[in-house]
Amino acid sequence: MRSIYLDNNATTPVDPRVLDAMLPYFREHFGNAASRNHRYGWVAEEAVEKAREQVAGVIGASSKEIIWTSGSTEGNNTAILGVARMYADKGRHIITCRIEHKAVIDPCKFLESEGFEVTWLEPDRSGRVRMEDLRQAMRDDTILVSLMFANNELGTINPIAEIGALCKERGVIFHTDATQAFGKVPIDVEAMGIDLLTLSAHKMYGPKGVGALYVRRKKPRVRLQPIIHGGGHERGMRSGTLNVPGIVGCGAAAELCRKEMPTESVRIARLRDRLWAGLSEHLTDVSINGNLEHRLPNTLNVSFLYVEGESMMMGMGDIAVSSGSACTSASLEPSYVLKGLGLGDDLAHSSIRFSLGRFTTQEDIDETIKRVVSAVNHLREMSPLYEMAQQGIDLSKVQWQRH
């Protein structure tokens, strides 16, 4: 049975064209980009600056506004902790959402332990932030709003331009974790009023362990207190010897996304819709989690009622999917994102995220439909709950006895 990879929101394979761009920087061009007094350093620095331009070009930024990081976790920490400490004199109130990635939630919780106040917005049933809730949460001492561009489990896209406009109006810095959106949907930091934006190479067919943070330079000029000290690299915001091969890969991956996004997004969205059409045609009691209008082209999160997600993943052969985000899937707790939408444990436990990618084929999708339908039917045949539901019994009203 051939393996099928549908977990591209967790990570993507490195595109062969990206690897080709990286290879010379492991061997011939191995210089340190901070070595300013010989050719090896100059060649490395030139490659790093080219990659900055490639990343900036995807989001309508200047290359001078791109800071290299080890990935989105570091980028989110740098943005959130950096703003909090730099602007603490102005205020100590931050706004975020309960279904953000842990790399946003945890730094915000850490700041709470340091005496900052965080407002945790509740999303609507589709995973979007309500503008009215955000407006009401704003205060005179609010210094930062951190809301993700697109949710990693649902694919739901937030009203980013509206959030940016409100933050501009109120003089509040706006950070967005765009890890899942970068390279999949159009982003314009100027038009959308974004002040800080996080991205990671390995979500867009680049290498792991490298990412970038966009930091606005004017209107307003955003300043960050660094969380890593030593050497003053990256405009003093992120010290450390630059990962030149990784940065070259990040730039090459971004450039490919910029060129291929218009056609790739359409192709992948068609495959996602084909997957849902096939599942919903052959199975009852299935539903999509997330927003059907504002969503990433590649993500489909489905609840299969009366089936436990982990059992289903084991039952459908070698198909790589997820029952939560990669950072939390080691736990058997139901997804906090789905619980945050108001889903009960039954639906949250029965949910699977399919995330398609550049190398997903129609054959992959058709084979996935076949295996998933077979696995769900097999598990439901063994489920007493499914049998009761088929008989018309309302399971929510059943009085279960304890022995």
Judge if 238 and 266 occupy the same domain: no
| pLDDT tens-digit readout, 369-393 | 999 999 999 999 887 767 777 777 7
Residue 208 lies in a domain: yes
Judge if 324 and 211 occupy the same domain: no
* CATH number for the domain that contains residue 318: 3.90.1150.10
Judge if 177 and 298 occupy the same domain: no
* CATH number for the domain that contains residue 55: 3.40.640.10
Judge if 160 and 281 occupy the same domain: no
Total count of domains within the chain: 2
Judge if 252 and 277 occupy the same domain: no
Mark 72-108 as b/e (b = at least 16 C-beta within 10 Å): bbbbbbbbbbbbbebbeeebbbbbbbebbbebbbebb
Residue 384 lies in a domain: no
Residue 381 lies in a domain: no
The reported pTM is 0.94
User: Stretch 351-375: mean pLDDT, rounded?
Assistant: 97
**257, 286, 309 - which closes a domain:** 257
Judge if 306 and 356 occupy the same domain: yes
Q: Which of the residues 97, 167, 257, 327 is marked catalytic?
A: 327
Judge if 107 and 144 occupy the same domain: yes
pLDDT at 325: 42
Residue 382 lies in a domain: no
**257, 284, 299 - which closes a domain:** 257
Kindly state the percentage of the chain with pLDDT values over 70: 95
Q: Which domain holds residue 21?
A: 16-257
Query: Is the four-CA dihedral 30, 33, 35, 36 of positive or negative sign?
Result: positive
Residue 131 lies in a domain: yes
Judge if 228 and 267 occupy the same domain: no
Judge if 199 and 342 occupy the same domain: no
- Cα–Cα nearest to 52, from 61, 62, 41, 63: 63
> What is the residue-averaged pLDDT of the chain?
93
| pLDDT tens-digit readout, 130-144 | 999 999 999 999 999
Active site residue 250: no
| pLDDT tens-digit readout, 244-289 | 999 999 999 999 999 999 999 999 999 999 999 999 999 999 999 9
- Cα–Cα nearest to 237, from 21, 78, 49: 78
User: Stretch 164-190: mean pLDDT, rounded?
Assistant: 98
Judge if 332 and 253 occupy the same domain: no
Judge if 97 and 129 occupy the same domain: yes
Q: How many CB atoms lie within 10 A of CB 135?
A: 12
Residue 121 lies in a domain: yes
Judge if 145 and 73 occupy the same domain: yes
Angle between helices 244-282 and 39-59 (to 10 degrees): 30
